Amino acid sequence: MPQRSAPPEEQFDFPDPPERIPEWAQAEAEGWRSLHNFDLELRAERLSGLQVEIRYVDLPVGVWGLHIARGERARLCVNSRLPGLWRRFALFHELYHLIRHSKGERFWQQTFQPMSKFESEADLFAWAIIWPEWSDAW
């Protein structure tokens, strides 16, 4: 008899929340929490100077999201297999990279900062935004 695989949401490794959310992340998160995709795109466009599109796509389980910026356009891709709260987390994580780490991975690898610092910053920003939703769910 063939084995059924676990539902996609059971295959994701969900992160534990941080012990505390730093003040800078709380300040950065202000104004983002209540926005829906259209308003998120508008605000991201204003801050990045790019035409921003948010898409929910079927990505491999190990990939939560990614962003692509070329010329004057940017696309934020979020894994549609993620449960709703974690889709928002991935969206805000990628959004932070687009707005605050806009020079691209190649540029940031040339700094004295490890890439893990930039990933951690993006995670803290995302946690600051979803924290009220997450704490209500748990």
Ordered domains of the chain (ranges, CATH): 32-137 (1.10.10)
Q: Which long-range contacts (CB under 8 A, 24 or more apart) does 130-138 make?
A: 130/85, 130/88, 130/89, 130/92, 131/17, 131/21, 132/33, 133/85, 133/88, 134/17, 134/85, 137/85
Can you read off the two tokens belonging to residue 115?
Answer: 């890439």
What is the tens place of the pLDDT at every residue in 77-86?
Answer: 999 999 999 9
pLDDT band at 119 (very low <50, low <70, confident <90, very high): confident
What is the tens place of the pLDDT at every residue in 21-70?
Answer: 999 999 999 989 989 999 999 999 999 999 999 999 999 988 999 988 88
